[in-house]
Amino acid sequence: MTGSVFDHERDAAWLSAFADGELDDQQEAAVKAHLAVCAACREEMVGLSRFDLVMASLRLKEAPPEAWEAIEARLSHRAARRAGWLLLTAGAAATFAWGAWLGVAALLGASGTPWWVKAAILAACVGGLLLLVSALRERLYARRRSRYEDIVR
């Protein structure tokens, strides 16, 4: 609110808001008082009302009857697909981890493997683990801090 006296330059938008019943009491009183003495603004109000009469006679077409079925089908397919991807990812990750563990254990246990190769394997394993933990932590942190990152305002 910018005051109780109507100013043409500053408060022009109040005329629309007045017609829509969106002003507070003070603003509304200011517009009423102004309309009582300003023929140009009264004419503007009539023009706006005429325009609103046309707009009130128009509406957006309703969604077609088959729209709900299409939305429902797409969402249910996506839900099933997501469950499939989750199972596939979990299964593949477990299988890979088990295979990797067997391979690393065999290499580390083999008597012919040089010590520096064993050290390199251990370093790679520890490094991979650190990267994984770091990435998971970052993701969890981003999830907590930026919940609306998917939404562009």
The token duo for 38 is: 């300003």
Burial, 15: exposed, middle or buried (Cβ in 10 Å; 0-12, 13-18, 19+)? buried
Other CB atoms within a 10 A radius of the CB of residue 141 amount to 10
Sole residue written with tokens 């309309």? 35
Q: Is 38 in the site for another protein (CB under 8 A)?
A: no
Q: Residue 88 and residue 39: Cα distance in Å, rounded?
A: 73
The DSSP output letter for 66 is T
Q: Which stretch binds another protein (CB under 8 A): 64-72, 100-108, 120-128, 130-138?
A: 64-72
Query: Least Å distance between CB 18 and another protein?
Result: 5
Query: Least Å distance between CB 88 and another protein?
Result: 18
Residue 49: partners with Cβ closer than 8 Å, 6 or more residues away = 19
* Residue span 76-115 as binding mask against another protein, x where in contact by CB under 8 A, dash where not: --xx------------------------------------
Of 102 and 142, CB closest to another protein: 142
Residues that bind another protein (CB under 8 A): 12-23, 28, 32, 35, 42, 45-64, 67-68, 70-72, 74-75, 78-79, 143, 147-148, 150-153
